[in-house]
Structure 1
């Protein structure tokens, strides 16, 4: 029995050797002939060229609609303009007209037949409402859109503007109003020049960039987004969960600058002749002040004292992030 086992083992080894030799000879023959499996599949791919993106879109989006709608409402007796949009980028412009004008342009693709959306713009009392167009879907569907809303506000209008968006970017040229209130989820805000009595902004997952902000009172709240204001006036209350904050004052306010950040760096620029009381502290970040200060406390993670006088009070607190005051 043991002899038979030894014979079987030897036979198996011989067979394996023969298999490897055959593979080696086959490889040499194929190589010398110039044949290539890579070229074979590459040629197949070049001959059978399928544009999967276009193919899928033609299946998923059977219907396509162009959107080009507009409306206008006289500005007389209007105290409020309220914009509430979803997935439509917004541009705010100033006009010499006496009407608030809005245009909605873009396209919509859908897997089912629908009515092309219209601009929803109405007047109720002293308020103009501009809303996202309603959707007329039923059941399951595939859907894609690219819409742009542009609102033209008369230069003579100086009351209130409220903007609320989801998945929309906001662009503002120049505004001179009583109040500007912006609330966004997943979208950026860019403004050139904003002059208001009261400015309020709340952003989630989006950056806020303003070149010039002139206001008596500023309230800014951000969650996961950077904030940059190149020139700011007025008192400030700023709260951030995650994101860097940069701002520059040309004239110090006669009130408070209150800044609170959990995770993000804070950089505050002040005029050369600025006078203020400062209390800046960070749990795990450095605090740097490049002004002559009569210090009550001055160490790595905290600076407290007076620069000149205490006409303006600066309070900055971060959990994780450096603080720089220049």
Structure 2
């Protein structure tokens, strides 16, 4: 009886192994898959990738073209005013040499509505044509797991970024309102313009602004925030500290330090910088 049971288990195991081999080639990148969809009357591009390396390319075209190289199944679904793009993978394609895939999404440069991006453990890159001629969007929502995100040359009216870990590099991003929430990980922001609301549980946030044009709200639990402002920035600092630290390298008028507060004004004091720190550290310079 035991031998029969063992024999049946071996057969079942061989069946699953055979099915896995049938679904996957022995090479890192197998056959490709591609889809094309019209962008007419589309208000939202919803892109979801787990462990794939994804590149979003704005270019002179009138449709959305998606190309997948490697493992996984590419699903492109249009419903109403939404195009959903997702890479689905078999369980065995997340291990070893079966896990490599590359997704390229080519979008019209003139597309100026909404975009949602969800990243698991892979990498996503998107770059507009140039800093002077950025890709323009109405809204952009980013949800990150433990992967890597690179965004550059974007003009977004409303930008929202939620991350649990991983690394994000945002370069030459202009917004009317920007919101960054990170549980852990690292976020580097270079050449940012617009209103900013940043919440950091742990990890590290580096922000460099070419211009200070709106208010900045920073809330830190136990992480590290560095805020690099232009020398001629006009701001009023309102800082509250529990057991952490707030430092400001700018000379401040009407400076008030003590009783868990750091307040003061630089220049005309036009824009408010509101900083709340529990046990982390914020450096403004």
Which TM-score tier does this pair reach, normalised by the shorter chain? 0.7 to 0.9
In the alignment, the residues of structure 1 paired with residue 169 and residue 241 of structure 2 have an alpha-carbon distance, to the nearest angstrom, of 25
Please, what TM-score do these two structures have when normalized by structure 2? 0.82
Is 303-312 or 190-199 further displaced after alignment?
303-312
Change (3 A) 1:141 1:68: closer
SS of residue matched to 1:205: coil
Is 118-127 or 142-151 further displaced after alignment?
142-151
SS of residue matched to 2:190: strand
Does residue 171 (structure 1) correspond to residue 128 (structure 2)? The answer is: no
Equivalent residue pairs, number: 256
Tell me, which stretches of 5 or more residues in structure 2 are unaligned? 1-16, 129-134
Does residue 91 (structure 1) correspond to residue 45 (structure 2)? The answer is: no
SS of residue matched to 2:160: strand
Pairwise CA distance, 1:191: 1.4
Q: Deviations over 1:229-248 (max 9, x none)?
A: 11111111111111111112
SS of residue matched to 1:78: coil
Q: 1:126 matched to which residue of 2?
A: 81
Does residue 103 (structure 1) correspond to residue 32 (structure 2)? The answer is: no
Q: 2:275 matched to which residue of 1?
A: 316
Change (3 A) 1:301 1:98: same
Q: 2:235 matched to which residue of 1?
A: 276
Does residue 253 (structure 1) correspond to residue 213 (structure 2)? The answer is: yes
Q: Aligned-residue CA RMSD in angstroms?
A: 2.5
Runs of 4+ in 1 over 3 A off after TM superposition: 58-63, 140-144, 281-286, 299-302
Q: Is the 8 A contact 2:220 2:281 kept in 1?
A: no
In the alignment, the residues of structure 2 paired with residue 322 and residue 118 of structure 1 have an alpha-carbon distance, to the nearest angstrom, of 44
Q: 1:15 matched to which residue of 2?
A: none
Pairwise CA distance, 1:219: 0.7
SS of residue matched to 1:162: strand
Please, what TM-score do these two structures have when normalized by structure 1? 0.72
Q: 1:6 matched to which residue of 2?
A: none
Structure (1/2) with the larger helix percentage: 1
The residue correspondences of 1:91-240 to structure 2 (distance < 5 A) are 91-107=55-71, 117-133=72-88, 135=90, 144-174=98-128, 175-240=135-200
In the alignment, the residues of structure 2 paired with residue 194 and residue 226 of structure 1 have an alpha-carbon distance, to the nearest angstrom, of 20
Q: 1:76 matched to which residue of 2?
A: 40
In the alignment, the residues of structure 2 paired with residue 76 and residue 274 of structure 1 have an alpha-carbon distance, to the nearest angstrom, of 42
Q: Is the 8 A contact 1:120 1:133 kept in 2?
A: yes
In the alignment, the residues of structure 2 paired with residue 81 and residue 283 of structure 1 have an alpha-carbon distance, to the nearest angstrom, of 42
Q: Which has the larger radius of gyration?
A: 1
Change (3 A) 1:227 1:141: closer
In the alignment, the residues of structure 2 paired with residue 165 and residue 120 of structure 1 have an alpha-carbon distance, to the nearest angstrom, of 16
Pairwise CA distance, 1:181: 0.8
In the alignment, the residues of structure 2 paired with residue 208 and residue 318 of structure 1 have an alpha-carbon distance, to the nearest angstrom, of 22
In the alignment, the residues of structure 2 paired with residue 307 and residue 274 of structure 1 have an alpha-carbon distance, to the nearest angstrom, of 7
